[in-house]
Amino acid sequence: MKKVIISFMPLIVLLLVFNASVLAGPLDSIPKDPYAQTLQPEQTISVPAKAGSGAHISVPGRGVFAIDFAVEGNKSLLLMLLTNDQYNSVLAGRQVTSSPIMRVTINGTASQTIIMDRGEYFIFLGNDASSNTVITYRATWRRTS
């Protein structure tokens, strides 16, 4: 009786390569700063149509704030970085009278950076579209020398 040896190695390699590409995240193409502190871990949210969403962040000192993002498809969102006072005005239904720290329309996969001082801030993501828009984002901070 002959022994038949079947090699599963090519199949295993194929499965590993396939799984690695399927498990790649939307922000994997943006390198993380190894010296940065995470202020907002990577998360995926759906920003409601004609509305907004966001997150509070605490910046521990003067430094470089970065937000990495991936907006779905050909859609875009308004990204604003607000002070606590500006955020409280929005919550009270009042117009923000001063300029936001950052105000930019974002789309695709990219990063935005700005030098900021220590403080409490709010990342606001506004959606002017008539349908929900999915975004994956993370925020980091690195002290400047």
Q: Is residue 4 part of a domain?
A: no
Provide the residue range defining the domain that includes 26.
Answer: 9-143
Going residue by residue through the chain, which has 145 residues, state the pLDDT in tens, using 9 for 90 and above.
555 555 544 444 444 444 444 566 899 999 999 999 999 999 999 999 999 899 999 999 999 999 999 999 999 999 999 998 898 888 888 887 889 999 999 999 999 999 999 999 999 999 999 999 999 999 999 998 7
Q: Is residue 45 part of a domain?
A: yes
Tokens 């295993």 correspond to what residue?
Answer: 12
Q: How many CB atoms lie within 10 A of CB 36?
A: 17
Alpha-carbon span 101 to 80, nearest angstrom: 7
Q: Which two tokens stand for residue 122?
A: 């709010």
Chain-centre distance for alpha carbon 73: 15
Q: Is residue 117 part of a domain?
A: yes
Phi/psi of residue 17, each to 5°?
-65, -45
User: The domain spanning residue 71 has which CATH number?
Assistant: 2.60.120.510
Alpha-carbon span 126 to 145, nearest angstrom: 33
Q: How many residues appear in the chain? A: 145
Total structural domains within the chain: 1
Q: How far is CA 17 from CA 8, 10, 12, 25, 31, in A?
A: 14, 11, 9, 15, 21
* pLDDT given at position 88: 87
pLDDT tens digit sequence for 114-132: 999 999 999 999 999 999 9
* pLDDT given at position 104: 97
Q: Which two tokens stand for residue 36?
A: 């940065």
pTM over 0.75? The answer is yes
* pLDDT given at position 120: 95
